[in-house]
Amino acid sequence: MYKKLILFLILCSSVNIFGQDSKPPNIIMMIGDGMGLSTISSGMYSNNNYTALEGSEYVGLIKTHSLDDLVTDSAASATAMSSGVKTNNKVIGLDSKGNLVETILEMSIDLGYSTAIVVTSSIVHATPASYYAHIDNRYKYDEIADHLSKSKIDFFIGGGEKYFNNRSDKRNLISEMNQYFFAKNIDQYKKSNSNKIGFLTADDEPIEKYKNREPSLDKAVEITIQKLTDMKKPFFLLIEGSQIDWGSHDNSQKHMISEFIEFDKTIENVLDYAKKDKNTLVVITADHETGGVAIVDGSLENSMVKNKYVSGSHTATMVPVFSFGKHSSLFKGIYDNTKIFDKLESIIKK
């Protein structure tokens, strides 16, 4: 009788009748490109002294250097986070010897996850490309687009249409990717019932948010999360607020802050989803800091700041990591950016 009781308890535990949720968690990875602490602070003070990041459960810091330079670029830093390997600047999805490294998105696909990428840059830009491509130079955009066409990603939104249908090799990847429905606008994207959808939002790079870029990142992400949820599988979603970085490169406070505020609205929606779902991990970080941004003046009453920049390029300062939801406590502390991959891998392979 005692042995039967033990066996019964083991079986009960395996089928979750005691309410323990053993389903693989959804993972939402959010990268604010170039988003350092002063960028966040500038956006927060410009937004009625509030950021949705205040809703995170844990905060950490990551070191961002690449293998060959103290100051990383987006290719090397995103490869570190996506694959757990330090590599040289400009390199995507390869180690320093040119060997292919498997990414967390590719692992997720192999484990049966649904996947999606939503960015405000071209879809072949360094950060998103580091999750699906393997190439020695981030600027080989035609080749990166070819990698995307073979990647098995379910949904993707970003610019860069010309790298698919106006290529030097005369191929039309949009025609070749016949398993995908290519949406012409956000309404088509939303209404499509296809399990493979591409939405190329601009011929080259999308315009700035303060110039009325559409669709908004928060709306695109909201629709994508619903599509992923409807597939009834765990999912991996990569979101990048790409142009936060570009604003800082240009030392443009207006560009930088408007991009952060849109990203922050997206964070708010994502955290709301994770709170309701209760089986989603959200990790929010940056690939590096850009511009050496400082806040030198401003007014809380008027929700305004005055920024100064020490550079038109990246810096080597650490950047924050915010986390919420399932296994979020793993992401507190100070560690190398390669550990982002290590922690995510430990979660999806539990």
Q: What is the pLDDT of residues 69-88, one digit of tens each?
A: 999 999 999 999 999 999 99
Average pLDDT of every residue of the chain: 94
Degrees, nearest 5: CA angle 62-311-289: 20
- Integer Cα distance of 158 and 336 in angstroms: 28
28 phi and psi angles, rounded to 5 deg: -115, 110
Among 281, 119, 140, smallest CA distance to 198 is for 119
Q: Percent of the chain at pLDDT above 90? A: 93
- pLDDT > 60? residue 2: no
* pLDDT of the residue at 141: 98
Q: Above 50 in pLDDT, residue 58?
A: yes
pLDDT digits 0-9 by tens, 130-187:
999 999 999 999 999 999 999 999 999 999 999 999 999 999 999 999 999 999 999 9
β partners of residue 155: 116, 197
pLDDT score for 22: 75
Q: Please write the tens of the pLDDT for every residue from 227-250.
A: 999 999 999 999 999 999 999 999
What are the start-end ranges of the H helices in the chain?
2-14, 37-45, 74-83, 104-110, 126-129, 141-149, 162-165, 173-176, 186-191, 217-230, 243-249, 253-277, 338-348
| Domains of the chain with CATH codes | 23-348 (3.40.720.10)
Catalytic residues: 74
The burial of 337, by beta-carbon neighbours within 10 Å (0-12 exposed, 13-18 middle, 19 or more buried), is given as buried
Q: Is the pLDDT of residue 1 over 70?
A: no
Q: Which of the four pLDDT bands, split at 50, 70 and 90, describes residue 21? A: low
268 pLDDT higher than 60? yes
Q: Is the pLDDT of residue 333 over 70?
A: yes
Banded model confidence at residue 334, pLDDT cuts 50, 70, 90? very high
The mean pLDDT of 322-347, rounded to a whole number, is 98
pLDDT at res. 332: 98
DSSP conformation class of 206:
P
CA separation (Å) from 5 to 12, 300, 349? 10, 64, 30
What pLDDT digit, counting tens, does each position of 281-306 carry? 999 999 999 999 999 999 999 999 99
Residue 12 is predicted with a pLDDT of 45
Q: Against a cut of 0.85, is the pTM above it? A: yes
Q: What is the mean pLDDT of residues 207-226?
A: 98
Rounded distance between C-alpha atoms, residue 124 and residue 160, angstroms: 7
